[in-house]
Chain A
Amino acid sequence: MITHTSSPSKIELRHVTHLYVTSRNAFMAVKDISLTVKEGEFISLVGPSGCGKTTLLSLIAGLEKATRGNVLLDGEEVSGTSRKVGYMLQHDYLFGWRTIEENIYIGLEVQGTRSKETEEYALHLLEDMDLLSFRNSFPQQLSGGMRQRVALVRTLACKPDILLLDEPFSALDHQTKLKLEDLIIETLRRHKKTAVLVTHDLQEAVAMGDRVFVLDRTPGTIRREIEIPEVLRRLLPFGTRQQDGFTTLYNQVWREMEGTSDGATSN
Protein backbone atom coordinates (compact mmCIF):
# COMPACT_ATOMS: atom_id res chain seq x y z
CA MET A 1 0.00 0.00 0.00
CA ILE A 2 1.40 3.35 -1.01
CA THR A 3 0.48 6.45 0.97
CA HIS A 4 1.18 9.98 -0.10
CA THR A 5 0.15 11.52 3.20
CA SER A 6 3.49 11.18 4.96
CA SER A 7 4.42 14.13 7.18
CA PRO A 8 6.07 17.04 5.34
CA SER A 9 9.83 16.93 5.08
CA LYS A 10 11.69 18.36 8.04
CA ILE A 11 13.76 20.59 5.79
CA GLU A 12 12.94 21.38 2.21
CA LEU A 13 14.77 23.64 -0.22
CA ARG A 14 12.89 24.44 -3.43
CA HIS A 15 14.93 25.89 -6.28
CA VAL A 16 16.92 28.06 -3.93
CA THR A 17 19.21 30.68 -5.44
CA HIS A 18 21.09 33.14 -3.28
CA LEU A 19 23.10 36.24 -4.12
CA TYR A 20 25.46 38.21 -1.93
CA VAL A 21 25.40 41.86 -2.93
CA THR A 22 28.28 44.11 -1.94
CA SER A 23 29.31 47.57 -3.13
CA ARG A 24 31.73 45.92 -5.57
CA ASN A 25 29.61 43.19 -7.10
CA ALA A 26 26.69 40.80 -6.79
CA PHE A 27 27.94 37.27 -6.29
CA MET A 28 25.85 34.14 -6.79
CA ALA A 29 26.64 31.77 -3.92
CA VAL A 30 24.19 28.97 -4.71
CA LYS A 31 22.03 28.33 -7.74
CA ASP A 32 18.79 26.40 -8.04
CA ILE A 33 19.33 24.02 -5.14
CA SER A 34 16.54 21.61 -4.29
CA LEU A 35 16.76 19.02 -1.56
CA THR A 36 14.69 17.53 1.22
CA VAL A 37 15.67 16.10 4.58
CA LYS A 38 13.37 13.74 6.45
CA GLU A 39 12.84 13.85 10.18
CA GLY A 40 15.66 12.15 12.09
CA GLU A 41 17.89 12.07 9.02
CA PHE A 42 21.53 13.17 8.98
CA ILE A 43 22.86 14.64 5.77
CA SER A 44 26.38 15.75 4.92
CA LEU A 45 27.31 18.50 2.51
CA VAL A 46 30.77 18.41 0.97
CA GLY A 47 32.36 20.39 -1.79
CA PRO A 48 35.28 22.66 -2.66
CA SER A 49 35.51 25.97 -0.85
CA GLY A 50 33.20 28.56 -2.29
CA CYS A 51 30.49 26.03 -3.16
CA GLY A 52 28.02 27.73 -0.82
CA LYS A 53 27.83 25.09 1.90
CA THR A 54 27.74 27.63 4.70
CA THR A 55 25.28 29.73 2.71
CA LEU A 56 22.86 26.81 2.71
CA LEU A 57 23.14 26.54 6.49
CA SER A 58 22.56 30.27 6.90
CA LEU A 59 19.45 30.02 4.73
CA ILE A 60 18.08 27.08 6.71
CA ALA A 61 18.88 28.88 9.97
CA GLY A 62 17.04 31.97 8.75
CA LEU A 63 20.12 34.17 9.10
CA GLU A 64 19.76 35.05 5.41
CA LYS A 65 16.71 35.17 3.19
CA ALA A 66 16.95 33.32 -0.12
CA THR A 67 17.04 35.66 -3.11
CA ARG A 68 14.90 33.22 -5.09
CA GLY A 69 13.12 30.00 -4.15
CA ASN A 70 11.77 28.72 -0.86
CA VAL A 71 13.21 27.25 2.32
CA LEU A 72 10.69 25.30 4.40
CA LEU A 73 10.91 23.74 7.85
CA ASP A 74 8.06 21.32 8.64
CA GLY A 75 6.31 22.65 5.56
CA GLU A 76 6.47 26.26 6.75
CA GLU A 77 8.38 28.98 4.99
CA VAL A 78 11.42 30.20 6.94
CA SER A 79 11.26 33.85 7.97
CA GLY A 80 14.02 34.78 10.36
CA THR A 81 15.68 32.57 12.93
CA SER A 82 13.63 29.82 14.48
CA ARG A 83 13.80 28.02 17.81
CA LYS A 84 13.55 24.75 15.91
CA VAL A 85 17.06 25.23 14.62
CA GLY A 86 20.34 24.95 16.51
CA TYR A 87 23.53 26.04 14.83
CA MET A 88 27.04 24.93 15.73
CA LEU A 89 29.98 26.83 14.34
CA GLN A 90 33.51 25.78 13.46
CA HIS A 91 34.87 27.14 16.74
CA ASP A 92 33.08 27.07 20.04
CA TYR A 93 32.87 30.85 20.50
CA LEU A 94 32.15 30.44 24.18
CA PHE A 95 31.98 33.75 26.00
CA GLY A 96 35.18 34.21 28.00
CA TRP A 97 33.54 36.39 30.61
CA ARG A 98 30.98 33.76 31.54
CA THR A 99 31.46 30.48 33.38
CA ILE A 100 30.70 27.23 31.57
CA GLU A 101 27.36 27.06 33.34
CA GLU A 102 26.46 30.63 32.35
CA ASN A 103 27.59 29.89 28.81
CA ILE A 104 25.20 26.99 28.35
CA TYR A 105 22.29 29.15 29.53
CA ILE A 106 22.91 31.90 26.98
CA GLY A 107 20.46 30.49 24.41
CA LEU A 108 17.80 30.05 27.07
CA GLU A 109 18.35 33.62 28.23
CA VAL A 110 18.06 34.99 24.72
CA GLN A 111 14.87 33.04 24.07
CA GLY A 112 13.44 33.97 27.47
CA THR A 113 13.01 30.35 28.51
CA ARG A 114 15.58 30.20 31.29
CA SER A 115 13.95 28.53 34.28
CA LYS A 116 14.72 25.96 36.93
CA GLU A 117 13.59 23.19 34.58
CA THR A 118 15.50 24.27 31.49
CA GLU A 119 18.61 24.91 33.59
CA GLU A 120 18.39 21.40 34.96
CA TYR A 121 18.02 20.01 31.45
CA ALA A 122 21.12 21.91 30.33
CA LEU A 123 23.11 20.67 33.32
CA HIS A 124 21.92 17.17 32.58
CA LEU A 125 23.30 17.49 29.05
CA LEU A 126 26.54 18.81 30.50
CA GLU A 127 26.70 15.73 32.70
CA ASP A 128 26.17 13.51 29.62
CA MET A 129 29.26 15.15 28.15
CA ASP A 130 31.23 14.43 31.34
CA LEU A 131 31.72 18.11 31.98
CA LEU A 132 29.55 18.77 35.01
CA SER A 133 32.57 19.23 37.25
CA PHE A 134 33.66 22.17 35.09
CA ARG A 135 30.44 24.12 35.48
CA ASN A 136 32.13 26.90 37.44
CA SER A 137 35.26 27.06 35.27
CA PHE A 138 35.87 29.62 32.58
CA PRO A 139 36.20 28.54 28.93
CA GLN A 140 39.91 29.47 28.84
CA GLN A 141 40.57 26.68 31.33
CA LEU A 142 39.19 23.96 29.04
CA SER A 143 40.75 22.13 26.10
CA GLY A 144 39.46 22.55 22.54
CA GLY A 145 37.49 19.30 22.58
CA MET A 146 35.88 20.12 25.91
CA ARG A 147 34.93 23.57 24.73
CA GLN A 148 33.32 22.19 21.58
CA ARG A 149 31.30 19.81 23.76
CA VAL A 150 30.16 22.77 25.85
CA ALA A 151 29.15 24.52 22.63
CA LEU A 152 27.12 21.43 21.74
CA VAL A 153 25.39 21.55 25.12
CA ARG A 154 24.70 25.26 24.65
CA THR A 155 23.04 24.47 21.31
CA LEU A 156 21.09 21.43 22.52
CA ALA A 157 19.91 23.18 25.70
CA CYS A 158 17.38 25.09 23.60
CA LYS A 159 15.93 21.76 22.38
CA PRO A 160 16.19 22.38 18.64
CA ASP A 161 14.61 19.79 16.29
CA ILE A 162 17.19 20.51 13.66
CA LEU A 163 20.92 20.78 14.20
CA LEU A 164 23.14 22.58 11.73
CA LEU A 165 26.83 21.70 12.05
CA ASP A 166 29.29 23.96 10.25
CA GLU A 167 32.60 22.08 10.32
CA PRO A 168 32.31 21.65 14.08
CA PHE A 169 35.30 19.30 14.31
CA SER A 170 37.79 20.97 12.00
CA ALA A 171 39.69 22.71 14.79
CA LEU A 172 40.11 19.55 16.84
CA ASP A 173 42.80 16.89 16.89
CA HIS A 174 42.01 13.61 15.17
CA GLN A 175 41.29 11.49 18.23
CA THR A 176 39.06 14.07 19.89
CA LYS A 177 37.24 14.47 16.60
CA LEU A 178 36.47 10.75 16.27
CA LYS A 179 35.17 10.61 19.82
CA LEU A 180 33.06 13.70 19.38
CA GLU A 181 31.56 12.34 16.14
CA ASP A 182 30.29 9.29 17.98
CA LEU A 183 29.03 11.39 20.85
CA ILE A 184 27.09 13.70 18.56
CA ILE A 185 25.54 10.88 16.53
CA GLU A 186 24.53 9.09 19.72
CA THR A 187 23.00 12.21 21.19
CA LEU A 188 21.17 13.06 17.98
CA ARG A 189 19.74 9.57 17.63
CA ARG A 190 18.62 9.49 21.22
CA HIS A 191 16.79 12.78 20.84
CA LYS A 192 15.62 11.98 17.26
CA LYS A 193 17.08 15.18 15.83
CA THR A 194 17.51 16.03 12.20
CA ALA A 195 20.96 17.28 11.24
CA VAL A 196 22.86 18.89 8.40
CA LEU A 197 26.65 18.69 8.51
CA VAL A 198 28.96 20.82 6.43
CA THR A 199 32.50 19.49 6.26
CA HIS A 200 35.72 19.38 4.31
CA ASP A 201 36.50 15.93 5.64
CA LEU A 202 35.11 13.37 3.21
CA GLN A 203 35.58 10.46 5.62
CA GLU A 204 33.64 12.33 8.25
CA ALA A 205 30.86 13.07 5.75
CA VAL A 206 30.52 9.37 4.87
CA ALA A 207 30.93 8.11 8.43
CA MET A 208 28.31 10.41 9.93
CA GLY A 209 25.79 10.98 7.16
CA ASP A 210 22.78 9.00 5.94
CA ARG A 211 23.17 10.79 2.64
CA VAL A 212 26.10 12.78 1.27
CA PHE A 213 25.62 15.68 -1.14
CA VAL A 214 28.62 16.66 -3.22
CA LEU A 215 28.38 20.28 -4.30
CA ASP A 216 30.00 22.00 -7.25
CA ARG A 217 31.08 25.59 -7.07
CA THR A 218 30.69 29.02 -8.62
CA PRO A 219 27.81 29.08 -8.25
CA GLY A 220 27.07 26.30 -5.78
CA THR A 221 24.97 23.50 -7.26
CA ILE A 222 24.31 19.90 -6.27
CA ARG A 223 26.59 17.67 -8.29
CA ARG A 224 25.72 14.31 -6.87
CA GLU A 225 23.77 12.71 -4.05
CA ILE A 226 25.16 9.53 -2.50
CA GLU A 227 23.08 7.27 -0.28
CA ILE A 228 24.83 5.49 2.56
CA PRO A 229 23.54 1.89 2.78
CA GLU A 230 21.48 0.86 5.80
CA VAL A 231 24.22 -1.40 7.26
CA LEU A 232 26.61 1.50 7.58
CA ARG A 233 23.97 3.92 8.84
CA ARG A 234 23.14 1.90 11.90
CA LEU A 235 26.65 1.99 13.31
CA LEU A 236 28.33 4.88 15.05
CA PRO A 237 30.82 6.81 12.88
CA PHE A 238 33.83 5.06 14.41
CA GLY A 239 32.31 1.67 13.64
CA THR A 240 31.32 2.74 10.14
CA ARG A 241 34.92 3.62 9.39
CA GLN A 242 35.93 -0.02 10.08
CA GLN A 243 33.45 -1.52 7.59
CA ASP A 244 34.44 -2.88 4.17
CA GLY A 245 31.89 -0.78 2.32
CA PHE A 246 33.26 2.41 3.83
CA THR A 247 36.33 2.69 1.64
CA THR A 248 34.35 2.07 -1.54
CA LEU A 249 31.93 4.84 -0.64
CA TYR A 250 34.73 7.12 0.39
CA ASN A 251 36.42 6.57 -2.98
CA GLN A 252 33.16 7.32 -4.74
CA VAL A 253 32.83 10.65 -2.91
CA TRP A 254 36.50 11.35 -3.58
CA ARG A 255 36.05 10.85 -7.33
CA GLU A 256 33.05 13.14 -7.33
CA MET A 257 35.09 15.78 -5.56
CA GLU A 258 37.86 15.41 -8.13
CA GLY A 259 35.28 16.06 -10.80
CA THR A 260 34.15 19.36 -9.34
CA SER A 261 35.30 22.50 -11.09
CA ASP A 262 37.86 22.94 -8.34
CA GLY A 263 39.41 19.53 -8.91
CA ALA A 264 39.29 19.95 -12.69
CA THR A 265 41.05 23.29 -12.77
CA SER A 266 43.69 22.63 -10.18
CA ASN A 267 45.93 20.39 -12.28
Chain B
Amino acid sequence: MEQHQIEHIFLLHKQEEKRKARLVFLCQIGLLAIFIALWETAARLQWVDVLLFSSPSRIWVMFLEKLSDLSLFTHTGITVMETVVGFLLGTIFGTLIATAIWWSPFLSRVLEPYLIIANSMPKVALGPLFIVGLGPGIISIIATTLSVSIIITTLVIYSSFREVNPQYTKVMQTFGATKQQIFRKVILPATTPTIVSTLKVNVGLSWVGVIVGEFLVAQKGLGYLIIYGFQVFNFTLVLMSLFVIAIVAAVMYQGVSYLEKRLTSQFK
Protein backbone atom coordinates (compact mmCIF):
# COMPACT_ATOMS: atom_id res chain seq x y z
CA MET B 1 0.00 0.00 0.00
CA GLU B 2 1.26 3.46 -0.90
CA GLN B 3 2.18 5.96 1.79
CA HIS B 4 -0.42 8.50 0.62
CA GLN B 5 -3.14 5.83 0.82
CA ILE B 6 -2.18 5.10 4.43
CA GLU B 7 -2.29 8.80 5.20
CA HIS B 8 -5.66 9.11 3.54
CA ILE B 9 -7.11 6.33 5.67
CA PHE B 10 -5.65 7.93 8.77
CA LEU B 11 -7.17 11.28 7.77
CA LEU B 12 -10.60 9.71 7.28
CA HIS B 13 -10.32 8.09 10.68
CA LYS B 14 -9.48 11.42 12.29
CA GLN B 15 -12.40 13.14 10.60
CA GLU B 16 -14.74 10.42 11.81
CA GLU B 17 -13.44 10.82 15.37
CA LYS B 18 -13.96 14.57 15.19
CA ARG B 19 -17.48 14.14 13.89
CA LYS B 20 -18.34 11.83 16.76
CA ALA B 21 -16.86 14.19 19.34
CA ARG B 22 -18.93 17.03 17.92
CA LEU B 23 -22.09 14.95 18.02
CA VAL B 24 -21.51 14.02 21.67
CA PHE B 25 -20.98 17.67 22.56
CA LEU B 26 -24.13 18.74 20.69
CA CYS B 27 -26.19 16.14 22.54
CA GLN B 28 -24.77 17.27 25.86
CA ILE B 29 -25.69 20.90 25.20
CA GLY B 30 -29.06 19.84 23.79
CA LEU B 31 -29.91 17.84 26.89
CA LEU B 32 -29.17 20.84 29.11
CA ALA B 33 -31.19 23.18 26.87
CA ILE B 34 -34.20 20.83 26.88
CA PHE B 35 -34.04 20.49 30.67
CA ILE B 36 -33.93 24.28 31.17
CA ALA B 37 -36.67 24.89 28.61
CA LEU B 38 -38.96 22.27 30.20
CA TRP B 39 -38.34 23.70 33.65
CA GLU B 40 -39.07 27.25 32.51
CA THR B 41 -42.22 26.17 30.70
CA ALA B 42 -43.41 24.15 33.68
CA ALA B 43 -42.91 27.16 35.92
CA ARG B 44 -44.63 29.64 33.58
CA LEU B 45 -47.61 27.38 32.95
CA GLN B 46 -47.81 26.63 36.66
CA TRP B 47 -47.38 22.86 36.24
CA VAL B 48 -45.15 23.04 39.28
CA ASP B 49 -45.24 25.32 42.29
CA VAL B 50 -42.91 28.21 41.53
CA LEU B 51 -42.47 28.92 45.23
CA LEU B 52 -40.84 25.52 45.68
CA PHE B 53 -39.15 24.88 42.35
CA SER B 54 -38.42 28.42 41.18
CA SER B 55 -37.52 28.80 37.51
CA PRO B 56 -34.35 29.22 35.46
CA SER B 57 -35.12 32.86 34.65
CA ARG B 58 -35.65 33.75 38.32
CA ILE B 59 -32.44 32.00 39.28
CA TRP B 60 -30.60 33.86 36.56
CA VAL B 61 -31.98 37.22 37.70
CA MET B 62 -30.97 36.50 41.28
CA PHE B 63 -27.56 35.35 40.12
CA LEU B 64 -26.97 38.65 38.32
CA GLU B 65 -28.26 40.58 41.28
CA LYS B 66 -25.98 38.83 43.77
CA LEU B 67 -23.13 39.21 41.33
CA SER B 68 -23.60 42.93 40.99
CA ASP B 69 -23.78 43.63 44.71
CA LEU B 70 -20.64 41.47 45.09
CA SER B 71 -22.15 39.42 47.93
CA LEU B 72 -21.91 36.27 45.81
CA PHE B 73 -18.15 36.72 45.58
CA THR B 74 -17.84 36.94 49.36
CA HIS B 75 -19.91 33.81 49.94
CA THR B 76 -18.25 31.82 47.18
CA GLY B 77 -14.77 32.99 48.20
CA ILE B 78 -15.23 31.88 51.79
CA THR B 79 -16.64 28.51 50.82
CA VAL B 80 -13.90 27.86 48.29
CA MET B 81 -11.24 28.87 50.80
CA GLU B 82 -12.67 26.49 53.39
CA THR B 83 -12.90 23.69 50.85
CA VAL B 84 -9.36 24.13 49.59
CA VAL B 85 -7.88 24.37 53.08
CA GLY B 86 -9.85 21.35 54.29
CA PHE B 87 -8.95 19.43 51.15
CA LEU B 88 -5.23 20.17 51.43
CA LEU B 89 -5.09 19.43 55.15
CA GLY B 90 -7.04 16.20 54.69
CA THR B 91 -4.68 15.06 51.97
CA ILE B 92 -1.50 16.10 53.77
CA PHE B 93 -2.43 14.67 57.17
CA GLY B 94 -3.92 11.54 55.61
CA THR B 95 -0.65 10.92 53.72
CA LEU B 96 1.40 11.59 56.84
CA ILE B 97 -0.61 9.16 58.96
CA ALA B 98 -0.43 6.57 56.17
CA THR B 99 3.34 7.04 56.10
CA ALA B 100 3.59 6.61 59.87
CA ILE B 101 1.65 3.37 59.92
CA TRP B 102 3.54 2.04 56.91
CA TRP B 103 6.75 2.81 58.74
CA SER B 104 5.74 0.99 61.87
CA PRO B 105 3.78 -2.23 61.37
CA PHE B 106 3.35 -2.28 65.15
CA LEU B 107 1.62 1.10 65.10
CA SER B 108 -0.53 -0.04 62.21
CA ARG B 109 -1.72 -3.05 64.20
CA VAL B 110 -2.41 -0.90 67.23
CA LEU B 111 -4.37 1.68 65.25
CA GLU B 112 -6.25 -0.75 63.00
CA PRO B 113 -9.52 -1.02 65.01
CA TYR B 114 -9.60 2.72 65.60
CA LEU B 115 -9.23 3.43 61.89
CA ILE B 116 -11.98 0.96 61.03
CA ILE B 117 -14.38 2.50 63.53
CA ALA B 118 -13.45 6.03 62.47
CA ASN B 119 -14.00 5.09 58.85
CA SER B 120 -17.42 3.55 59.37
CA MET B 121 -18.57 6.49 61.49
CA PRO B 122 -20.59 9.26 59.78
CA LYS B 123 -18.06 12.02 60.34
CA VAL B 124 -20.49 14.92 60.01
CA ALA B 125 -22.10 13.67 63.22
CA LEU B 126 -19.03 15.05 64.95
CA GLY B 127 -20.00 18.57 63.82
CA PRO B 128 -21.58 19.64 67.13
CA LEU B 129 -18.45 18.55 69.00
CA PHE B 130 -16.25 20.66 66.77
CA ILE B 131 -18.50 23.66 67.30
CA VAL B 132 -18.35 23.26 71.06
CA GLY B 133 -14.62 22.64 71.05
CA LEU B 134 -13.42 25.06 68.40
CA GLY B 135 -16.09 27.74 68.47
CA PRO B 136 -18.74 28.49 65.86
CA GLY B 137 -16.57 29.70 62.99
CA ILE B 138 -14.33 28.84 60.10
CA ILE B 139 -12.10 26.60 62.23
CA SER B 140 -15.04 24.32 63.00
CA ILE B 141 -16.04 24.15 59.36
CA ILE B 142 -12.52 23.24 58.32
CA ALA B 143 -12.36 20.65 61.08
CA THR B 144 -15.59 19.10 59.80
CA THR B 145 -14.17 19.04 56.27
CA LEU B 146 -10.92 17.50 57.48
CA SER B 147 -12.73 14.82 59.45
CA VAL B 148 -14.69 13.77 56.37
CA SER B 149 -11.66 13.20 54.14
CA ILE B 150 -8.75 12.34 56.41
CA ILE B 151 -9.61 8.75 57.38
CA ILE B 152 -10.45 7.55 53.91
CA THR B 153 -7.30 9.24 52.58
CA THR B 154 -5.24 7.45 55.22
CA LEU B 155 -6.75 4.07 54.43
CA VAL B 156 -6.50 4.36 50.65
CA ILE B 157 -2.95 5.63 50.63
CA TYR B 158 -1.78 3.14 53.26
CA SER B 159 -3.21 0.25 51.27
CA SER B 160 -1.55 1.55 48.11
CA PHE B 161 1.78 1.68 49.98
CA ARG B 162 1.29 -1.94 50.95
CA GLU B 163 0.42 -3.00 47.42
CA VAL B 164 3.76 -1.87 46.01
CA ASN B 165 5.41 -5.01 44.65
CA PRO B 166 7.69 -6.30 47.44
CA GLN B 167 10.26 -7.24 44.81
CA TYR B 168 10.92 -3.54 44.22
CA THR B 169 11.67 -3.24 47.91
CA LYS B 170 13.90 -6.30 47.63
CA VAL B 171 15.89 -4.67 44.82
CA MET B 172 16.48 -1.71 47.11
CA GLN B 173 17.40 -3.95 50.04
CA THR B 174 20.00 -5.76 47.96
CA PHE B 175 21.71 -2.42 47.52
CA GLY B 176 21.56 -1.95 51.28
CA ALA B 177 18.85 0.73 51.25
CA THR B 178 17.50 2.12 54.51
CA LYS B 179 13.78 2.26 55.18
CA GLN B 180 13.79 5.97 54.45
CA GLN B 181 15.49 5.43 51.08
CA ILE B 182 13.00 2.71 50.20
CA PHE B 183 10.15 5.04 51.03
CA ARG B 184 11.51 8.04 49.15
CA LYS B 185 12.78 6.25 46.07
CA VAL B 186 10.23 3.45 45.65
CA ILE B 187 7.09 3.62 47.76
CA LEU B 188 6.29 7.28 47.21
CA PRO B 189 6.96 7.47 43.44
CA ALA B 190 5.25 4.13 42.84
CA THR B 191 2.08 5.30 44.58
CA THR B 192 1.95 8.84 43.20
CA PRO B 193 -0.87 7.93 40.79
CA THR B 194 -2.97 6.52 43.66
CA ILE B 195 -2.29 9.51 45.86
CA VAL B 196 -3.32 11.91 43.13
CA SER B 197 -6.47 9.97 42.35
CA THR B 198 -7.48 10.10 46.03
CA LEU B 199 -7.22 13.86 45.65
CA LYS B 200 -10.07 13.67 43.17
CA VAL B 201 -12.25 11.81 45.66
CA ASN B 202 -11.25 14.28 48.34
CA VAL B 203 -12.50 17.24 46.32
CA GLY B 204 -16.01 15.78 46.47
CA LEU B 205 -15.70 14.83 50.14
CA SER B 206 -14.41 18.27 51.08
CA TRP B 207 -17.49 19.87 49.56
CA VAL B 208 -19.68 17.62 51.68
CA GLY B 209 -17.77 18.62 54.80
CA VAL B 210 -17.83 22.34 54.04
CA ILE B 211 -21.50 22.54 53.16
CA VAL B 212 -22.53 20.56 56.26
CA GLY B 213 -20.19 22.68 58.38
CA GLU B 214 -21.76 25.83 57.00
CA PHE B 215 -25.25 24.47 57.59
CA LEU B 216 -24.34 24.17 61.24
CA VAL B 217 -22.57 27.42 62.05
CA ALA B 218 -21.79 29.80 59.24
CA GLN B 219 -22.86 33.39 58.78
CA LYS B 220 -21.31 33.44 55.31
CA GLY B 221 -20.73 30.97 52.50
CA LEU B 222 -22.73 29.03 49.94
CA GLY B 223 -23.86 26.46 52.53
CA TYR B 224 -25.12 29.34 54.63
CA LEU B 225 -27.05 30.74 51.64
CA ILE B 226 -28.71 27.37 51.14
CA ILE B 227 -29.78 26.97 54.76
CA TYR B 228 -30.84 30.63 54.94
CA GLY B 229 -32.84 30.34 51.70
CA PHE B 230 -34.48 27.23 53.13
CA GLN B 231 -35.40 28.99 56.37
CA VAL B 232 -36.95 32.02 54.67
CA PHE B 233 -38.51 29.78 52.00
CA ASN B 234 -36.57 31.40 49.18
CA PHE B 235 -35.86 28.43 46.95
CA THR B 236 -34.56 30.60 44.15
CA LEU B 237 -31.67 31.41 46.48
CA VAL B 238 -31.18 27.72 47.34
CA LEU B 239 -31.12 26.67 43.69
CA MET B 240 -28.83 29.50 42.68
CA SER B 241 -26.36 28.46 45.40
CA LEU B 242 -26.50 24.88 44.16
CA PHE B 243 -25.83 26.11 40.65
CA VAL B 244 -22.74 28.04 41.82
CA ILE B 245 -21.51 25.05 43.84
CA ALA B 246 -21.87 22.80 40.80
CA ILE B 247 -19.76 25.14 38.70
CA VAL B 248 -17.03 25.79 41.27
CA ALA B 249 -16.78 22.10 42.24
CA ALA B 250 -16.47 21.10 38.58
CA VAL B 251 -13.69 23.65 38.10
CA MET B 252 -11.82 22.28 41.14
CA TYR B 253 -12.24 18.73 39.91
CA GLN B 254 -10.86 19.69 36.50
CA GLY B 255 -7.92 21.37 38.23
CA VAL B 256 -7.09 18.17 40.07
CA SER B 257 -7.50 16.15 36.87
CA TYR B 258 -5.02 18.44 35.20
CA LEU B 259 -2.63 17.97 38.12
CA GLU B 260 -3.09 14.23 37.82
CA LYS B 261 -2.13 14.26 34.17
CA ARG B 262 0.95 16.34 34.86
CA LEU B 263 2.15 14.26 37.79
CA THR B 264 1.53 10.84 36.32
CA SER B 265 2.48 11.40 32.70
CA GLN B 266 5.57 9.18 32.93
CA PHE B 267 3.54 6.22 34.14
CA LYS B 268 1.78 5.83 30.81
Interface on A for B, CB 8 Å cutoff?
A: 61, 63, 80-83, 85-87, 89, 91, 93, 95-98, 106-107, 109-111, 138, 158
With A85-B174, A89-B171 as contacts: A110 and B185 at CB distance below 8 Å: yes
28 contacts between A and B (CB under 8 A): A63-B170, A81-B174, A81-B175, A81-B176, A82-B176, A83-B176, A86-B174, A87-B174, A89-B170, A89-B171, A91-B167, A93-B170, A93-B171, A96-B266, A97-B189, A97-B190, A97-B266, A98-B189, A106-B171, A106-B172, A106-B175, A109-B185, A110-B172, A110-B176, A110-B177, A110-B181, A110-B185, A138-B266
Closest to B266 in A: A97
Cβ contacts B170-211/A at 8 Å (1 or 0 each):
111111110001000110011010000000000000000000
Q: List residues 121-180 of chain B with CB under 8 A from any CB of chain A.
A: 165, 167-168, 170-177
Known contacts A97-B189, A110-B175, A110-B181; 9 additional CB pairs below 8 A are A61-B174, A89-B171, A93-B165, A95-B186, A95-B190, A97-B190, A97-B192, A97-B267, A109-B185
Residues of A within 8 A of B185 (CB): 95, 106, 109-110
Interface on B for A, CB 8 Å cutoff?
A: 165, 167-168, 170-177, 181, 185-186, 189-190, 192, 266-267
Distance in angstroms between the alpha carbons of A93 and B170 in the assembled complex: 10
A93 touches B167 (CB 8 A): yes
Closest to B193 in A: A97
Closest to A157 in B: B175
Nearest CB of chain B from residue A188's CB, rounded to whole Å: 17
Distance in angstroms between the alpha carbons of A87 and B177 in the assembled complex: 13
A interface majority secondary structure: loop
With A93-B167, A95-B186, A110-B181 as contacts: A80 and B174 at CB distance below 8 Å: no
Distance in angstroms between the alpha carbons of A251 and B130 in the assembled complex: 77
Residues of B within 8 A of A89 (CB): 167, 170-171
Residues of A within 8 A of B189 (CB): 95, 97-98
Residues of B within 8 A of A96 (CB): 266-267
Nearest CB of chain A from residue B227's CB, rounded to whole Å: 46
With A95-B189, A138-B266 as contacts: A111 and B175 at CB distance below 8 Å: yes
Distance in angstroms between the alpha carbons of A86 and B176 in the assembled complex: 10
Closest to A164 in B: B174
Nearest CB of chain A from residue B264's CB, rounded to whole Å: 9
